[in-house]
Every structure is written in structure tokens, then in C-alpha cells.
Structure 1
Amino acid sequence: MTNQILTTILKFISKHAKDLFGFFKSSSFSKALLIGIAITIPVVFGIVSDNFEIGLAICFGAFWCSPSDVNGSLKHKQIGILFSSILVVLISFIGGYLQFLNNFLFPILGLLTFCIAFISVYGFRASLISFSGLLALVLSFAHTSEELEVYQYALLIGVGGLWYLLLSTIWYHLNPKAQTEETLSLTFLLTADFIDTRRQLIGEQPNRSELQTQLMDLQSELIENHETLREIFISSRISSGRSNYQNKRLLVFIQLIEMLETAVANPVNYDKMDALFSTHPELKSDFQQLLSEFSFQLRSIARNINKPNRFPSHRKISDVLEKLKKDILEFKIDTQTEDYEDYLMLQNLLDYQKKQSEKIKKIKWVLDNPELSTDDLTRKHNLSRFIVSQDYDPKLLFRNLSFKSTIFKHSLRLAVTVTLGHAIGLYFDFQNPYWIILTIIVIMRPSYGLTKTRSKDRIIGTLIGAVLASGIVFLIHSPYVYGVLGVLSLVIAFSMVQKNYRASATFITLSVIFIYAILQPDVLKVIQFRVIDTLIGAGLSYVAMRFLWPAWSFMEIGDNIKDSLKANTDFFKSIRNYYQTKGDVPTSLKVNRKEAFVQMSNLSSAFQRMAQEPESKQNNIEDIYELVVINHTFLSSLASLNTYIQNHKTTAASEDFKLISDKITANLDRVCRELNAVNFENSKTKITMLEVEKRTFTFPADRITKNAISSTDNERSHKEAHLVWEQLYWLYSLSEKMLELTSKLKTGN
């Protein structure tokens, strides 16, 4: 029996060893370990030197500033931690006097909460600085120093922030490549998943809509990783110049961006592809096998990014490509003349896969090559255009002082809920009332879906942690063991906070209970109040999010649709101009391409938030979903056209091309005007069957394509004509569909 248990354990360890090893190597674990060191050393120093209050203040300062330590350039990390240090010093100084304010306690607590939360208008990193300030405010209720003056305590909090800044900087220089390698490896894996999902979309699929939704989610996650890598590579390159390591990773990153665009670019016309593959399953199998091999090789590179000798051979990809090329040639020989356009479609699709193969081959070559230069990418004014710069104008604060601003409503909602939570804790004389408001600031987020999920995970995690802690405290009575378990639990909790919030809440509860078990003999009472306070805090967060100035996604998604459409329009205009003028690819085209992908990601995320909200608040969700899918498909078609014209020598733009391009542009501009006239924030906005203006223009795609093919015997020109006109027809059809949908949007009476 014992042998069977041991065998089972060993099998489990063997099965999950790689995942466990990967977790210990992750930046999440290393940051959690850094936080553990940053808060433990001052406390130990304080105990040993009989200056516990000083050590505890430095510990708090380090802990409160740690949220600002996120992936990005070192400079941005340091600035974020420094600003957090300044903020927590100010808040700790004010918070030190809050207990003496009596009647003014609640209005000042509410005002401070609002002001700190409102800093989030300046973007993601500012929201983390804001969170540090909120932690300092809430935990100023948790500990009042008996040996230090308020100003001394506040300054020592600042020393703790500087202590964490020093540790974080040293940690970065000890392994400066860690976050780059991890983010780049994750991008490889996400790209592999994206391509594999594309593989599943080939041929008729009963769950195609689900796969397309999955594809949009993966695309959003990929673009987020691209933004992080842009900041790491381009910011460091602009500020500190070039290095061979940075050159190689930047070139690999460029290939991954282009791989995403190429993967998005094909196929778009599923009806034609389904009909073709149903009669020629061998072609479907060839394409699927090729995409599967792409995914496999990308995953292998991700696992062995610094071990080029372990990269898989490119021979397998070459063999599958050769087989696919042979089957397409046989298709041309076997089929009749009327199937020639299907042959051209297959050839264009094959060309895209060849491009993917070349990119994978180039990635392996770059990672294996000892010396590389990227002189074509050294122009700083061009590089800087690819970084999204945050607007830090003070006027932004005043522009957001409106109920139209999500951050304003969130800050106000948070201020009221925190004040109410503290009042409840004091009124019922709970042991640690600050736990209620700590739960509120940790759980409550601007979006309803995330707040609801975190409330549920927090409650479940707290209950699990309370049960586990009760069992351990009954069995073990050593304060030293409690101390070790408390620190270990805290490290694990921090390392899992982004990946598994429920598990993180479990370990946070364990850590808190172990620490209190050292200080107080009645641990069961501590556990009881911990659970009650968490339930009250989570309940208040959910109720406030649901009923107190709620920011439903249908109020904002209109702006996301407009931004995505505008970015797609600008991208299309850049493609149109480049196809007409030829020459070198302008930087503006690359910037517009990047903006189109970013805005599409934002739109997908906004719709995902909307889908998580109550059904009564999902205003016109089916029509909005259709607009989201159309925008995504439109971008796919643009990517297909852009990839082709950048990688092939194209003929002069015909008058028909200019005419159709103008028609598409006119449709897109009109859709923008229609959307600007719609008040998405009005809950009465509804779809009514208005009669859409009749179109007198008919797109003669088949005729133009046939005329272009018959005018020359050059197969390269045939492939260009087929792809360009098929994409233009697709773009025109989608622009008409968007116009039809937006023309139906009307504000009800």
C-alpha cells in the first residue's frame, strides 16, 4: 500500500515537474521571493537590534511599494516605485492623525480614498501606484506606533520604499534578461496557440464561432505581450543604445509580430475554403499538418530559447511544404478551367505559409547567430512612434471629473464603500475592522465582471485558508514554525496573485493567521473575524459595483467600436496609398498596422467584459458582437492585403482599384458618422428595422478578376489579381455590412 502511494506521488511529481520548475523560474515567483526578502530582513533586523518598530515601518514601506514593480523597462520600474514611496509617505503621515479626527474621520477617509484612486486616470502603472497609496491608507488603521512620532514613522515608511527600490534594482541587474526571456517565451507559446487555433478553423466546423472568439482572446493577449516587449526593447534601445543580445531579441520580436499578422491574414472566406476542402480533403490535411508543425516548432523554441542546438530541424516543415506544393499542382492538373481561381486561392494560401516557414527559420537563425546588427531599426524617431506614450497632463484630472469617466465613478464608488465598510467595522466592534476595507480595495475593480469574480474567489480562498490554518494551529504550537509558514505562505500568495487569485487568497489567509498566531493566543477568534470581515468586504464590493454608479460596458463599448473602426480605416488608407505609390514601406503604415491590432484587442476585451455582466445590462449584445466580429474579419482582410503587397512586387494600381478603394473609404467614413450619432450610454438605445439606403453600386469582382487574368499569361500577376480583388470584394462587403448594422442603431423614445 505504501509503495503504491509512493509510486503515485512520484508519478504526479514527474508529470508536473516541468510546470513546477517553470513556476519557480517565473518572474511572478522571483518577485514574490523579492518581496519576502524585502519585508523579512527589516523585521529580523528590528528584533535583533531591539528596534522592532523601526524594522516594522521599513517592512510596511517595502510591502506597500511592491505593487509598482511590474514588467517593463528598468527606468519605468524605478520611477513607479519612487512615486509609490512618495505617495505612501504622504498617506502614512496623514493616516497617522486620522484616529484623532473623530467626527471628521469618515469624510476625510472618503476624500483620501477618492483622491488616491483617481490617480488611475494616468494609466496602468499609475493604477498600481494608486493601489500602493490605498494599501498605506487602509493599513494605517492596522498599526499605530507607540515608540515613534507620526512623522518619524512616515519617513521610515519612505525608507522602506527606497529599500525595496534598491533591492529591485539589484535583482534586475543580477538577471537583467529574466523578464525579457519569460515574456518572449510566453509570446512564442501564445503565437503557437494562435496558429493551432487557425488550424482547427480549416474545414467545416460546428463550433466555428467559439473558435473565432477564442482566436480574438488569444490575439488580445498576444498584443498585450507585444506592448510589454516593445517597452522593454525599444525603451532600453533608445535610452542605452544597442547590444548584441537586444539586437537578436528585437529581431525575433519583429518576426513574431509579422507571424501574428500573417496568421491573422488567412483564410478569410470560409465558405469557399469549406467547399474546396470538402472535395479535396488531402489539401485540408496538408494545411493542418503544416500549421501543426509550425505550432510544435514555436513551442520547442520557447522551451529552449537559449539552447539553439535543441531547436527542431526545419526539414519537417520543408517536407510538408513540398508535399502541399505537389498536391496543389496535382489539383491544377486534375481540375477543369473553371477551378483555376480555386488553384490561385490555394497558391496564395501556400505563399502565406511559406512566409511563416521563412520567419520560423529566421528566428532560429537569429537566436543561433553570435553577431547581428539592426541598423535599419536605429532611427530613434521611428522607434519611438511604436511606443504608446501616456499623457500625464494635469488637465487630464479635470477632464475626468465627470460621471462619463469610468475612473471617476470607480473612485467615488470605492470611497463610499470604504467609508461604509469602516463604519460597519467600528459599529459592530469587530476585532480588526480594517480587514473589511482591505478586502474592499483588493477586490473592487472598475469592471463588474472582475469584481464579481474576485469577490467569489476571495470568499472561497479565505474559507479554504481558514480551514487549513485551523488544522495546522491545532497540530503545531511552535511560534517559530508559524513564522516560517507565514513568510512561505506570503511568498506563494504573491507569486499566484495574477495567475490564480483564489489560491492566492487561500495563502494570504494562511499567512495572516500564522502571523496573528504568534501575537495572540486565541487564534480561533482571529480566524472567525477574518472570515466575517472578508464576507462583509466582498459583499459590500459586489453590492456597490452592482448598484452604486455602475459602469456597464454597453456605456463604453461604443467608443471602443469607434476607435477600432477608425484604426482600421487609417490602416486601409495607408495600404491603399502604398499600393498606388509603391517604393519603401512607410513607417506610418507600420504604425497604423500596430494601432489597428491594439484597438481590435481593446474592443475584444471590452466585449468580453460586457459578456460577463448581467443579461439586463447586455444591451444589443448580439448586434454588438456582430460588429466586433466584422471589425476582426475586416482587420484579417487588411492584414492579408498588407502582407501580400509588402512581400510581392505588384503591378500598377488600376482605375478600378482606385474606384473600389474610394467606395470602401466612403462606407467606412459614413459608418464613423453613423456611430458618432448613436448614444450608446442611453439604456434605451435599441435596434429598429430601419430601411437602409439602397445601393446603386455593384462590385464586379468576378469580372475584374477574370479580365485581369485573361490579360496576361503571367501566373504571378494572376495570383496578385485574385488575392487583391478577392480582398477588396471582402472589404467592400464588410463595409456594407457594417453600414447596414450601424444604420439600424437608433435611440428609442
Structure 2
Amino acid sequence: MIGAFLIFTLKFYYMLQRIRNFTDSHNFTKAIIVTIAAAVPVIILSQLGLFQLGFAIALGAFLTYPADIPSNLLHRTKGLLTASFIVAGCVLIVNLLHPFKLLFYPLLFILVFFLSMISVYGQRATMVSFSGLLATVLATGHIHTGWEILQYTGLVLAGGLIYTVVSVSFNYLSPYRYTELEIAQCMKLTAKYMKLRGDLWNTDANRAAIVEKQLNLQVEINLNHENLREILMRNRYNSENSNRGRKMLLVFISLMEILELALSTSFDHSKLQEKFSNHPKVLSTYQNLAYNLASSLKKISKSIGERSKYIPKHKLVADLEALEQAIIDYEAELGKEAAAEGVWMLSNMLHYAEKQIEKIKIIERAFTEKIKFKELGSGRDKDLEKFLAPEYYPLHTLKENLGFSSTIFRHSSRLTMCIAIGCILSFIFPLQNVYWILLTIVVIMRPGYGLTKQRSYQRIVGTLAGGLIAFAILSFITNSIIIGTLTIVCMLLGYAFTATNYRIGATFVTIYVVFVYGMLTPNVTDVIQYRILDTAIGVAITFAANYFLWPSWEFMNMPVFIKKSIEANRNYLIEISSFYNNKGNVPTSYRLARKSAFIELGNLMSSYQRMTQEPKSKQKQQSQVYKLAVLNHTLLSSLASLGTYIQSHKTTNASEAFNVVVNTVVKNLENAIALLNMDLQAEEAHQANNDDLAMRFTELKNIRARELKEVQITDEEEFRLKMEEAHLVIEQLVWLTGLSEKILKAARQLQLKA
């Protein structure tokens, strides 16, 4: 009995936590904003007998809502104002042109194509485009004449402006909450990544499955990082808020460095398991420390999300001391000379753990103490701007995408054709609400086949479920106050779930739409039937078009993503080599190259994920593509390991051997890029020099040993450190060379099978 009660209590507690997290999320806040901006004008004006005017204002708020994406306040406000005027402009154009049938449809299709094409300018432009498209298709179902056109357009614009004011006002109520939640999510994802790295140390670990999880996680991490860069690096905090803003920026930078350190622990785990098979305590002690590092980050993340005081659970310094003692015991057991290589490896692992603890302690202090972060001065702030996508919209970007080689152009053409088919069907069949078909097409059609297929399924299921639930409720409840209250609740939940679970979101949206019609018209059953029918027609048109009309199958774009990932890794290696040769402070170009390598790997994996959602016949060379993704991930891990070591140690001058091997790796990668570019002449030229470079590489250890002997080192500790450096650098260079050769071979096979 007591056990059952405890289980019930725990389940109830976790349910409350999930509800709390949901209501504290950014999506729920946006749902509250749009509900207030839409419902309040309707309620007020309905009391004055002006429901239609209130509904037009609510429509303007609904249509502006999609453009409300996370950003700093200035860009967010500009985006919302732009969306408001584009929405009003689309409504005005459709209403003015509608009487002129010969002009109306051609210009409608041109407008749809143009609105869709502005997606080439990035996420913000995509959402503004979506608002414009929604406004265009909805306007075709609400045509006005004469002065009513200007009145209706003005009310829609007013709705957009009201939404903007409410959204900006909410920003001042809790200006840092979204950033805190994104920081908490960043910690959670980083902790998950670190936990996966720890799993690699299990003797029976399925390393291929773990690597696949890491690659999928990289996609989420990239998106989270981009959101945080947009919020933290574009903002300019005023004097009274600068400390808090800079504190969160420092935390984000620390998390980035922790992720790099986690990626840096790139070892041949099979080799290490074999080497330390008779000394399992060493590796298990390190794994325990790795798990506790991840657990500490996860706990900080939880405390931020719940706004609770953070109390450290793990004694990381004690864990570190336990690892140090395990290394000492290992050396004592084997003897100094026999254990030398193993101690170098373990010391390197210990060093990474020390750095991670140092970064975690910075994060702990940031959220538990009042600290002035003066180290993030204005000079560094200027450098941070370089990590952001430029906020300008040149005309040549649009011109460059006007061709079938562009995915956005294909999507825009496909969408325009679907809208045209929907309009043609309205002439052939006596459809009740044609704009519902057009609305369905706009909402579910995406450039990729997989996401469109997923949205089609979710839209159908959500519409059916919502229609049945709404019909059941209206069969038993007729009180207008209760129905009105349920409408507002369903509106809130519909918009809150749309971004995270489209099927549930579509269910609630359908319910509140039916409720609205239920209050306006007695034939609500017909409304439900027509909505389901129109949704089904829209889904069928969209699904067929995505398969037959200029489809953008991922295998067509895959070589580009692979090439960009290889290029980013090559540039990262060049920056590491330059830093090793020149020493000094880490330049901004180094950090930019590192960022690009992470992003391009995530983009490659994101493209691969989309490929797996497409028909089997279109998943061409899937195994080869995945192999290249894994190789690029492993290469990035090795580069991060080498770069982190060079940054955090006082290293010797780069040797001739180092530069020879780096050039080998760079040329192998350039060779692979040439193959992906179908530049066979460049590939042959590189191949001609490969034998000589390979011969030079075999001399690497001898060259480095000779260089160390030529330098008179009397201090034993200094000699140990230089030997440790030589060992790690050589090991990483050996691995880098092997990986670059595998990438070259895989790229050649990919092109041969193309």
C-alpha cells in the first residue's frame, strides 16, 4: 500500500513538473500573447455588437504571430512590424484585384511565388513569408468591396500592431527568461553529449550506435547554439543590465568550450580497452568522473529551469583526485618505464577533465554568486558579431536562387502550382470553402518530402480528432459562455503545441475553429464535414506535388553538404596548424573555423535525417553518405583534441614533421573536395604527390625523436611534458592522416556510384 502510494506520489510530482515546464516554455508564452492579442479585441467589440470588426483584428494578430521568432528586441520588433504590413498588404492586394478575374489569378500566383521565394533570406524571412502566404490564401475566402476593403485592411493591420505591442510588452515582463531557458537547454544537451562520450568507455559498448546518437544530437545542439548567439551576441545591454547579460554570455562561451573538450576526448577506445585490460580501475575511474561531469551540468540545467537554488550533488574535485591516484597506482604497479606510454594517455585524459571541471565551476559561480564579469569588454563584443549571420538582404541572393538548382525555387514553383490546382478545383467542383484547401497546402507544404509527409499525416489526424471532439462537446454543451471559454482555452493550447507537437496542435486548432463556427452558425455539422474534406483534398494535392513536381530529393544535395563539412574541417585544421606555428592568443579566425566545422557537421547530419524520411528508392548511397558523416565527426573530434591540447599547453615550436603531415591531411581533404566537385584533374594532380607525402609521413616519429634529442633538456619534468606533447601530437596526426585517407576513399566511391 505504501509502495503504491509512493509510486503515485512520484508520478504526480513528475506530471506537475512537466506541466510547470510546459507553462514556463517560450511556446506557451507566445500562445498566451497571441491569445490575448486576438481574444481581447473580439471580447470587447462583441460587447458593443461589433463582432466582425473584432474578428478582423484577431485575424491580423493570428497572421502576424508566426513571424515572432526569438531574437534581440530590435530585430524582433522589426520582423513583427514587417510581417504586419506584409499581411495587410496581401489582404489589400487580393481584395482590390478580385473583381478583375483575368488579372486576379495570374497576379495571385505571382504573389504566392514571390512570398515563398523570400525564404532564401533565412529563418526570419521564412516566417514572414509564411505570414504573408497565410494572409493571401485567407483573404481569398473573405472578399470585401468598396470602402470596406480599406476598413478591413486597416483592422487586420491593427491586429498585427496590437500583437507587436503585446509581444514587446511581455519581453519587458521577463526579459531574460527565454535566454535562461535556452541556456538550460544548452546545458541539458551538452550533458547528454558528455554522457554519450562516457558510454564509449564501456567494454561492451555499441560504439556505432553511440556515434549515431551523437550525430543526431549535434543537429539539436547547433539549433540551440544559433538561438543563443542571436539573443546574446546581438543584444547590447545597458549599463544596469550589462553584468547579467555578460554573465549569460560567459556561461554560453563556457558551454561551447565544454562541448569542444567533450569532443576532444577522441581516443581509440578499443586500443585503450586492450591496453588497460589488466587495469580496469583506471578507465572505470575516468568514466565515473565523466558521468559526474555530465550529471553536474544536468543538475544546473534543472535548477535554472525550475528557478530553484543549485546545490552541487557531486564532488568533482574528489573524483579528479581519485583519477590522479589511479594513475599513480598504475605507474607504481607497472614501473615507470613500462607505464610511460599509458601514463601519457591517462595524463591527457586527466588534463581534459581538469579543464571541464574548471569550466563547470565558472558556470556554478555564475548562477550562485554575484560576480562582475569585466573580462568581456567591448573589444571582444565586436569580435562576437562575426559569429552571427549578417542581417541584410541583398537582391543578388534572390537572383542567384532563380533557377531549378535552388531548393527554394523548386519549393516556390511547387507551392504556386498547388495553389493553382486548388483554384482550378474550385471551378470544377462545388466546394464549400476553397480557401481551407489553399490554407492546408500552405501550412503543410515544406521544401523536403519527409517533413511534408509527416505534416500531412499529422494534419489529417489532428483535423479528424479535433472535429470529432468538437462535435461531441457541442452535442452536449450549448451555453455560449462555456463554449467561448473553451474556445479561448483550445486556442491557447493549439498555438502552444503547434511548434512542438503539430498533431496535438492541429487537434486543438480544429476544435477552436469549429467552436467559433458553432457560435456563428447553426449548421456546425456541415462545417466539420467540409473542413475534414477540404483538409483531405489539400493534403492529397500537397503530397502528390511533393513527389511528382520538381522534387528536391536529399541525395541531390548530399554532395554539397559533405563537401562543406570537409571544407570546414580542412579550414579548422589550417587554423590549428597556424596557431601551433605562431603561438600567441587564440585568434577570432580560429574560433570561427571551429564554429563552422560544428555547424556544417550538423547540417550534413540534418540532411541525412531528411533522406531517411524519403522513399527507399530515393535514399541513394545512404550507407556511403552515413559513412562520410561518421568520418567527418571523427575527424572533427580528432581536430578538437589536437586544437584543445595546443591551446592549453605551452608547446614547443612546430616541427618540420608536423607541417609535413598537416599538409598531407589538408591535401587529402582537398582531393576529396575536388572529387565531390567533379574536378578529376585536380584529384589526379593531388594523387601524383601522395606517394612522396606518404613516405615523408612514415618518418614522422624518427624526425620528432631526433628533434627532441638535439635539444638539451636537463629538467626531468620538462622532458616528460615534451614527450607527452610529442606522443599526443603524433598520435593525433597519425589518426588524422588515416581519417583523411578514408574520407578521400569514401568520396571516390561516392562519385563512382553516382
Name the TM-score class by shorter chain. over 0.9
Q: Hey, what's the Cα distance between the residues in 2 that align with 1:494 and 1:72?
A: 19
**Change beyond 3 A, Cα 1:11–1:251:** closer
SS of residue in 1 equivalent to 2:235:
helix
CA contact (8 A) 2:60 2:158 kept: yes
CA contact (8 A) 1:65 1:161 kept: yes
SS of residue in 2 equivalent to 1:237:
coil
Aligned residue number for residue 687 of structure 1: none
1:390: how far off? 4.4
Task: Tell whether 2:49 aligns with 1:28.
Answer: no
Equivalent residues in 2 for 1:271-310 (5 A)?
271-276=270-275, 278-305=277-304, 310=309
Listed one character per residue, the Cα deviations across residues 379-418 of structure 1 (whole Å, up to 9, x for unaligned) are 1431211112145101211111100000000001011112
Q: Hey, what's the Cα distance between the residues in 1 that align with 2:532 and 2:225?
A: 40
**Change beyond 3 A, Cα 1:621–1:146:** same
Listed one character per residue, the Cα deviations across residues 638-688 of structure 1 (whole Å, up to 9, x for unaligned) are 111111111111111111112112222222222222221179xxxxxxxxx
1:148: how far off? 5.3
Aligned residue number for residue 187 of structure 2: 188
**Change beyond 3 A, Cα 1:422–1:371:** same
Listed one character per residue, the Cα deviations across residues 290-323 of structure 1 (whole Å, up to 9, x for unaligned) are 1221122112111223999832337621222211
Task: Tell whether 2:337 aligns with 1:353.
Answer: no
**Change beyond 3 A, Cα 1:482–1:428:** farther
CA contact (8 A) 2:94 2:104 kept: no
CA contact (8 A) 1:563 1:599 kept: yes
1:545: how far off? 0.8
Aligned residue number for residue 217 of structure 1: 216
Q: Hey, what's the Cα distance between the residues in 2 that align with 1:102 and 1:315?
A: 72
Q: Hey, what's the Cα distance between the residues in 1 that align with 2:146 and 2:473?
A: 34
Aligned residue number for residue 684 of structure 1: none
Q: Hey, what's the Cα distance between the residues in 2 that align with 1:630 and 1:93?
A: 53
Aligned residue number for residue 317 of structure 1: 316
1:173: how far off? 0.9
Equivalent residues in 2 for 1:436-455 (5 A)?
436-455=437-456
Aligned residue number for residue 89 of structure 2: 90
**Change beyond 3 A, Cα 1:7–1:286:** closer
CA contact (8 A) 1:314 1:361 kept: no
Task: Output the amino acid matched with 2:471.
Answer: S
* Deviating more after overlay: 558-567 vs 436-445: 558-567
Task: Tell whether 2:375 aligns with 1:370.
Answer: no
Aligned residue number for residue 139 of structure 1: 138
Aligned residue number for residue 721 of structure 2: 716
**Change beyond 3 A, Cα 1:633–1:5:** closer
Q: Hey, what's the Cα distance between the residues in 1 that align with 2:121 and 2:753?
A: 35
CA contact (8 A) 1:121 1:407 kept: yes
Equivalent residues in 2 for 1:320-339 (5 A)?
320-335=319-334, 337-339=337-339
Aligned residue number for residue 521 of structure 1: 522
Q: Hey, what's the Cα distance between the residues in 2 that align with 1:340 and 1:264?
A: 25
Task: Tell whether 2:69 aligns with 1:70.
Answer: yes
Task: Tell whether 2:171 aligns with 1:172.
Answer: yes
Of all paired residues, the percent bearing the same amino acid is 37
Aligned residue number for residue 683 of structure 1: none
Listed one character per residue, the Cα deviations across residues 70-114 of structure 1 (whole Å, up to 9, x for unaligned) are 111111111111110111111001111354233544433322211
SS of residue in 2 equivalent to 1:556:
helix
Task: Output the amino acid matched with 1:285.
Answer: S
Q: Hey, what's the Cα distance between the residues in 2 that align with 1:100 and 1:528?
A: 30
Q: Hey, what's the Cα distance between the residues in 1 that align with 2:654 and 2:587?
A: 18
1:232: how far off? 1.2
**Change beyond 3 A, Cα 1:227–1:140:** same
Structure 2 spans left out of the alignment, 5+ residues: 681-686
Task: Output the amino acid matched with 1:646.
Answer: Q
**Change beyond 3 A, Cα 1:292–1:206:** closer
SS of residue in 1 equivalent to 2:447:
coil
1:419: how far off? 1.9
CA contact (8 A) 2:95 2:145 kept: no
1:421: how far off? 2.2
Equivalent residues in 2 for 1:662-673 (5 A)?
662-673=663-674
Aligned residue number for residue 623 of structure 1: 624
Q: Hey, what's the Cα distance between the residues in 1 that align with 2:608 and 2:462?
A: 28
Q: Hey, what's the Cα distance between the residues in 1 that align with 2:89 and 2:725?
A: 64
* Deviating more after overlay: 726-735 vs 310-319: 310-319
Listed one character per residue, the Cα deviations across residues 195-215 of structure 1 (whole Å, up to 9, x for unaligned) are 111111223445322221111
Which of 687, 691, 695 does residue 691 from structure 2 map onto?
A: 695
Q: Hey, what's the Cα distance between the residues in 1 that align with 2:376 and 2:76?
A: 28
Task: Output the amino acid matched with 1:233.
Answer: L
Q: Hey, what's the Cα distance between the residues in 2 that align with 1:629 and 1:5?
A: 46
Task: Output the amino acid matched with 2:111.
Answer: L
What is the TM-score normalised by the length of structure 2? 0.92
CA contact (8 A) 1:479 1:517 kept: no
**Change beyond 3 A, Cα 1:229–1:335:** same
SS of residue in 2 equivalent to 1:695:
helix
Q: Hey, what's the Cα distance between the residues in 1 that align with 2:246 and 2:193?
A: 26
Structure 1 spans left out of the alignment, 5+ residues: 680-690
Task: Output the amino acid matched with 1:228.
Answer: N
Task: Output the amino acid matched with 1:287.
Answer: Y
Aligned residue number for residue 544 of structure 2: 543
1:706: how far off? 6.2
CA contact (8 A) 1:203 1:284 kept: no
RMSD: 2.7
1:285: how far off? 2.2
1:344: how far off? 1.2
**Change beyond 3 A, Cα 1:156–1:590:** same
CA contact (8 A) 1:233 1:250 kept: yes
Aligned residue number for residue 683 of structure 2: none
CA contact (8 A) 1:425 1:434 kept: no
Q: Hey, what's the Cα distance between the residues in 2 that align with 1:586 and 1:407?
A: 36
Listed one character per residue, the Cα deviations across residues 133-188 of structure 1 (whole Å, up to 9, x for unaligned) are 01101111333457952122112211211111111111101111111111111111
Listed one character per residue, the Cα deviations across residues 570-618 of structure 1 (whole Å, up to 9, x for unaligned) are 1111110110111111111111111111111111111111222112112
What is the TM-score normalised by the length of structure 1? 0.93
**Change beyond 3 A, Cα 1:383–1:14:** closer
